[in-house]
Amino acid sequence: MAHRNLVILTGAGISAESGVPTFRADDGLWMGHRIEDVATPEAFARDPVLVQDFYNQRRRQLPTVHPNAAHRAIADLAARWRGDFLLVTQNVDDLHDRAHAVTPPAHGFDLIHMHGELLKAHCTRTGQVCDWPGDLAPDQPSPHHPQGRLRPHIVWFGEMPLHMDRIEAALAACDLFVAIGTSGAVWPAAGFVQLARRAGAHTVELNLEPSQVTDLFDEVRHGPATAVVPAFFSSLT
Ligand code: BV8
């Protein structure tokens, strides 16, 4: 069946083979921290030095990692897709952005970073977002407001993910939903498969191992993303 409207959700697993550690690997730690303990507004208020350093280290790592065959397979598909194509990533790295910069997508494509972006910061007073490729000081003055400070433009636990209205509208209209490299541990992203099913979409999980919501998918292919993602998309068109 030729699909028209595609939504892809990616998680940390798609960047794993690029050398970006996932969140819930065996030890469940990220550079010695449980993500839930560092990625919260409370942690930032309590210990801005720790939290800014946590993100500074990850931001500094970005130039040393590169898109892999899974990122490129999605970009190749987006270049030839005829219809609506929304790529929603939970990842805050810029690997999808770089892959699509090399292979520009066709009309009808959109990329949403629902949990924010490492290379951006926002003002604590105005919410204004700005590009920020360097380190953020614990008490970084904001250019947007005299009393404002700059924080990582990251959605922390307890904060509302970005562009949820656009994501939910695309899920309600899609006929194919593919989740790649995500454990299904974090909500509301973990519930997207249910919204796609409600729209009558065919749902596919491409992951190293079964996710926490694997039973909700019509089709599941297990293996490393750089193998299963190109294979699946080449079978599509
Ligand atoms: C919100 C930015 C409400 C930070 C992140 C109980 C039930 C339901 C919900 C909750 C609950 N208790 C608390 C909540 C809410 C909470 C939540 O879901 N908590 C979890 C821990 C239970 N969610 C929130 O707080 C969200 N906000 O609910 O707001 C609200 C309502 C009204 C008003 C205001 C607020 C916000 C969540 C966003 C948190 N921020 N990221 C940062 O990056 O520093 S989440 C973080 O986890 C990353 O974004 C990450 O992407 C994301 C999800 O993890 P995954 O991407 O899936 O990564 P993970 O390591 O878990 O899994 C990797 C997978 O890849 C594995 O399956 C592995 O097998 C696979 N893999 C590994 N290698 C490969 C591979 N696959 C293929 N190939 C490979 N090579």
Catalytic residue among 100, 115, 122, 153: 115
Instruction: Tell me the CA end-to-end span of the chain in Å, nearest whole number.
Output: 10
Distance between CA 118 and CA 91 in Å, rounded? 9
Strands (E), the chain: 6-10, 29-30, 33-34, 85-89, 109-113, 116-123, 129-131, 150-154, 176-180, 202-207, 219-222
Query: What is the average pLDDT across 96-124?
Result: 96
Residue percentage of the chain with pLDDT more than 70: 96
Query: In a 3-state reduction of DSSP, which class is residue 112?
Result: strand
Sorting pLDDT into bands at 50, 70 and 90, what band is 15?
A: very high
- Specify which residues 34 forms β-bridges with: 29
| Cβ of 206 below 6 Å from ligand 1 | no
Q: Is 115 a catalytic residue?
A: yes
Instruction: Tell me what the mean pLDDT of segment 88-96 comes to.
Output: 98
Residue 1 has pLDDT above 60, yes or no: no
Per-residue pLDDT at 101 exceeds 80: yes
* Percent above pLDDT 90 for the chain: 89
pLDDT mean across residues, the chain? 94
pLDDT classification of 36: cutoffs 50, 70, 90: confident
The amino acid at residue 41 is P
Predicted confidence (pLDDT) at residue 63 exceeds the cutoff of 90: yes
92 CB near ligand 1 (under 6 Å):
yes
Is 65:93 a contact under the CB 8 Å cutoff? yes
Give residue 34's pLDDT. Answer: 80
Q: Tens digits of per-residue pLDDT, 177-231?
A: 999 999 999 999 999 999 999 999 999 999 999 999 999 999 999 999 999 999 9
Q: What is the pLDDT of residue 28?
A: 58
127: left (phi over 0), alpha (psi -120 to 50) or beta: left
Written as six digits, the tokens of 124 are: 């604590």
Banded pLDDT at 27 (limits 50, 70, 90): low
Residue 51 has what pLDDT? 95
34: tokens are 């449980």
CB distance 135 to 56 below 8 Å: yes
Q: Is the pLDDT of residue 6 over 80?
A: yes
- Predicted pLDDT of residue 21: 80
Tokens of 118: 């490492």
Written as six digits, the tokens of 17 are 């083979």
Compute the distance between CA of residue 115 and CA of residue 91 in angstroms, rounded to an integer.
Answer: 7
pLDDT of residue 144: 96
Read off the pLDDT band of 29 (50, 70, 90).
low
Structure tokens at 22: 């996932």
Give per-residue pLDDT as tens, 136-186: 999 999 999 999 999 999 999 999 999 999 999 999 999 999 999 999 999
Cα–Cα dist 205/77, whole Å: 17
185 C-alpha to ligand 1 centroid (Å): 5
101 in Cβ contact with 74 (< 8 Å): no
Strand order through the sheet with 129-131: 129-131, 116-123, 150-154
| 118 within ligand 1 shell (Cβ under 6 A) | no
Give residue 25's pLDDT. 65
Q: What pLDDT score was predicted for residue 176? A: 98
Q: Looking at the DSSP assignment, which residues form a beta bridge with residue 221?
A: 206
Residue 112 Cβ < 6 Å to ligand 1: no
Q: For residue range 70-80, what is the model confidence (pLDDT) as tens digits?
A: 999 999 999 99
Taking residue 197's Cβ as centre, other Cβ atoms within 10 Å add up to 16
